[in-house]
Amino acid sequence: MIASVIEEAVLRKITSLRIPPGASILDVPCGGGALTARLTQMGFNVFAADIEPVQAVLNDHFRFVDLNRQAVPWPDETFDVACSIEGIEHLENPHRFLREIHRVLRPGGRLILTTPNIVSLRSRVRFLGSAFFHKDPRPLNETARHPLHHIGLRPLPMLRYDLHTTGFSLEEVGCSHTKGVSWAYTILVPWMWLYTSIAFRKEKDPDQKSRNREIRRAMFSRSVLLGENLVLVARKK
């Protein structure tokens, strides 16, 4: 089973975090199971869940779950690491999902989360011209609700808010990969930096001012300006 470029980025991140072999990892939603299979080969104790049935690949470590309606079907403090690959943007209630992940992680456990990067330079220009982000360049099909629809695309500051208000601390902000065409938009960076700096000056709360400086540094990092998909690492407080 071949892992996607995003799953390969997650595998590299897990290696860089030096997660010990035998650690318990939850992959949710797991998609076709490629990441779960690779993690299992690396010696981890991996469990997975998704709305699509992939038991044939994952056997008894798989659970069918509709994350919009059901809790994550494992007890409190079960896992050392949770991976959520391109999932949160499909959910009706991302805060409920993050609280569930927080519940099943052990104290100090990590969440590795990926999602389309809608604040990249290319995405911002697309939104300026069409009011649609680059991962969804046209309206969703309204015939019926589909679990793969991007109903919750979220910018980095909102994701940080989501994590910090559900018991996590965001540790790293990276990306899966970049495309060469994105460099063509870097001419806009000085104007964006100035505009953002002026907007952030309106914040009165001193603690939030400090946090806003962290947010601005992340927003103007190479990963966020040019990356196709965000790769976030957060720790359970």
* Three-state secondary structure readout of 109-163: EEEEEEEECCCCHHHHHHHHHHCCCCCCCCCCCCCCCCCCCCCCCCCHHHHHHHH
**Single pTM value for the model:** 0.95
Counting residues of the chain whose pLDDT is more than 90, the rounded percentage is 88
In the structure, what pLDDT confidence band is assigned to residue 106 with cuts at 50, 70 and 90?
Answer: very high
Give 233's contacts (C-beta < 8 A, 6+ positions apart).
Answer: 13, 17, 110, 111, 112, 170, 171, 172, 174
Q: Which residues partner with 168 through β-bridges?
A: 236
In this prediction, residue 126 carries a pLDDT of: 95
Cβ-Cβ contacts under 8 Å for 207 (sequence gap 6 or more): none
Across all residues in the chain, what is the average pLDDT? 94
Q: Report the pLDDT averaged over residues 93-102.
A: 97
Q: What sign does the dihedral 161-223-107-40 (CA atoms) show?
A: positive
Taking the CA atoms of the chain, what radius of gyration do you get in angstroms? 18
Q: What is the pLDDT of residues 202-230, one digit of tens each?
A: 999 999 999 999 999 999 999 999 999 99
Is residue 127 scored above 60 in pLDDT? Answer: yes
Whether the per-residue pLDDT at 58 is higher than 80: the answer is no
**235 pLDDT more than 80:** yes
State whether residue 75 is helix, strand or coil.
Answer: coil
Domain 5-182+223-236 is of which CATH architecture?
Answer: 3-Layer(aba) Sandwich (3.40)
Sign of CA dihedral 87, 51, 7, 102: positive
pLDDT in tens, 31-50: 988 999 999 999 999 999 99
Show me where the domains of the chain are located.
Answer: 5-182+223-236
Separation between Cα atoms, residue 188 and residue 52, nearest integer Å: 41
